[in-house]
Structure 1
Amino acid sequence: MNPYYYVLSVNGLLFVFSLIFYFFPPKKINHLYGYRTPKSMKNDDIWQYANTFFTKQFLIYSAISLVASLVLASINPSITWQPMAILLLSIGVAVLKTEQSINKTFDDEGNRLK
């Protein structure tokens, strides 16, 4: 398989999803679409904050993932698992940063910290 097709189908698709989340964020708490963790779904304030923060992080890290994978494919055309590892790492970093930000901004009951 052409390494560029592989990168575009894996990391490119992640970037497209990040654009969809960015331009069409979820309006209400739901179980189908958006950044859904138990803490982010506690109340509407956390839901809006978490989804806004996550979509920005997701967009940044998916773009970095796409560019890094394209550079890797141009350096080494026999790539196999590396683009998928970069994809998982970028999603993991976006989720961790979002959870850290939620914990710094809200208490365990879902109230904003002062």
Structure 2
Amino acid sequence: MPKEFIDIILIDLFIIAVPLLLYFFPPKNINSFYGYRTTRSTNNIENWRFSQRYFSKQWMLLAPVILVVQVLLIYFTDHDLKSKSSMILPISMALYFVGSFVCILRTEQKLKKLM
């Protein structure tokens, strides 16, 4: 497999590791350094703890889906390497952007129901 694709998959594995760390080692107290921080999530400690777990679960579901899409794009596109890598990266970035936005919206909706 070409180096460009190995780099993309390694970055994906790192991106998958971030929500795993947030899920298994969530910030215990409200802070301004790391974690899922919004107005609703920092409203009280119950919201903070719920939002850390819920958002990381949502993001854990997102990352493998994007990884599978990338692998399928690599497998099914039969062009030269430069065109494949230039196509995969923007699609991946768009999927992460839209997926992260959806995760934020879903988390905020759940937090709104808790209030």
2:106 alignment counterpart: 97
CA contact (8 A) 1:18 1:59 kept: yes
**Residue range with higher mean Cα deviation, 82-91 or 69-78:** 69-78
CA–CA separation in structure 2 for the residues paired with 1:98 and 1:35: 10
Q: Which residue of 2 aligns with 1:63?
A: 64
SS of 1:35's equivalent in the other structure is coil
Long gaps (5+) in structure 1: 107-114
* Deviation per residue, 1:61-114 (Å, 9 max, x gap): 1121222222222222612411111121221111111011111221xxxxxxxx
Task: Give the counterpart letter for 2:13 in structure 1.
Answer: G
Q: Does 1:30 align with 2:24?
A: no
Q: Any residues of structure 2 matched to 1:75-86 within 5 Å, and which? A: 75-76=76-77, 78=84, 79=87, 80-86=89-95
TM-score by length of 2: 0.80
| Contact 2:66–2:95 (Cα < 8 Å) also in 1 | yes
Q: Alpha-carbon deviation of 1:4?
A: 2.0
TM-score normalized by the length of structure 1: 0.81
Q: Quick one: percent identity of the two aligned structures? A: 29
